[in-house]
Homo-oligomer: A and B are copies of this chain.
Amino acid sequence: MSHKIAILGASGYTGAELVRIIATHPGMDIVALSGDRKAGQPMESVFPHLRHLDLPDLVRIEEIDFSGVDLAFCALPHATSQAVIKGLPGDLRVVDLSADFRLRDPAAYERWYGKPHGAPELQEEAVYGLTEFYRDDIRAARLVAGTGCNAAAGQFALRPLISAGAVDLDDIIIDLKAGVSGAGRALKENLLHAELSEGFHAYAVGSTHRHLGEFDQEFSALAGRPVQVQFTPHLIPANRGILATVWVKGDPQVIHATLAGAYAAEPFLHVLPMGQAPSTRHVRGSNFAHIGVVGDRRPGRAMVIVAIDNLTKGSSGQAVQNANLMLGLKETEGLMLAPCFP
């Protein structure tokens, strides 16, 4: 039996990525697509690569009859999500891909996002969607908050190490590199091809990137004390991919063994042999994470390097993985697409 799916905000990249994945998912059928500014258009005029699919036209959210919908993915911009989800039927399963429900503490939300939360009761209900660490809660959840794509990459590197006390909590540096699709389909000068290609730079410098809020929340909870990592992202002149180079103090062998042990049974998280480094190109278009651990010539120092596709494992693939759990499907259903290389 196939579950009926609505995608709100289907005219952005994470919306399109959801459709791409669900296109070959045996347990999901798309019954509604919303896209406010493009309402009335067929999906193929917004995303011609989906032309071969028999999809409903884009509509405004209020035009959707949710009575026949089993689960809604909400791929709307930050801040819009909270207003929209508040208005949905209270028993509708929702996977939100925005930042609106990631932070549990209303004060933290206000600090990082600059205004009070508009749906604090939903914020309290929402489960943080890092599947591998919140499986049981997600299975039982009605509302799941997809994680930040950078936040996912950093946590795959660090959660087991923090839990195990394998690294110095006060000296963690996440030097992250992210592909341009993470910024969405926004009309900004710095996202133009002529501005971006053939170059490289850091952005959101000075501890201003909002995913720091997720790191603080999750790492502090794991450690049972405040943890503040250092984190700066850079922009890769490529469309997809996140490489998180995480510099830590700890024993490289212990770090490798801890991660390999923690992820031994995970279908999507692959720890490479000791000393090998992953590449974003080898996870492109897939839900896999490749994780490498490398020692330094200086004892007690190491790098953990994580490669994911920001649109898939970092966003829409994670969302489908969570939806699978919420709908009682096999967690890997529809998600074993092999990476697209070259």
Contacts A193-B180, A206-B275, A278-B201 given; does A338 touch B52 at CB 8 Å: yes
Contacts A48-B282, A173-B247 given; does A198 touch B198 at CB 8 Å: yes
Q: Is the CB of A16 within 8 A of B341?
A: yes
Interface string of A128-157 (1 = CB under 8 A from B): 000000000000000000000000000000
A117 at the interface (CB under 8 A from B): no
Contacts A175-B175, A228-B298, A342-B195 given; does A203 touch B13 at CB 8 Å: no
Q: Is the CB of B193 within 8 A of A338?
A: no
On chain B, the residues within 8 Å of A338 by CB distance are 19-20, 23-24, 49-50, 52-53
On chain B, the residues within 8 Å of A198 by CB distance are 197-198, 238-241, 281, 284, 342
Chain copies in complex: 4
A279 at the interface (CB under 8 A from B): yes
A196 at the interface (CB under 8 A from B): yes
On chain B, the residues within 8 Å of A305 by CB distance are 202, 205
On chain B, the residues within 8 Å of A195 by CB distance are 185, 193, 281, 342
Q: Is the CB of B337 within 8 A of A200?
A: no
Q: Is the CB of B285 within 8 A of A199?
A: no
Q: Closest chain B residue to A175 by CB distance? A: B175
A303 at the interface (CB under 8 A from B): yes
Interface string of A155-194 (1 = CB under 8 A from B): 0000000000000000101010101110001011101111
List A residues 299-322 near B (Cβ within 8 Å): 301, 303, 305, 307
Stretch at the interface among A64-72, A74-82, A102-110, A288-296: A288-296
Q: Chain B nearest CB: distance from A322 CB in Å?
A: 20
Q: How many angstroms from the CA of A13 to the CA of B342 in the assembled complex? A: 7
Partner of A297, one of B173, B207, B245: B207
With A199-B238, A212-B297, A340-B340 known, 20 other A-B pairs at CB within 8 A are A13-B194, A20-B338, A23-B337, A24-B338, A48-B279, A51-B288, A177-B177, A180-B193, A181-B194, A187-B187, A191-B192, A198-B238, A199-B279, A200-B241, A203-B277, A205-B275, A206-B275, A237-B238, A247-B247, A284-B340
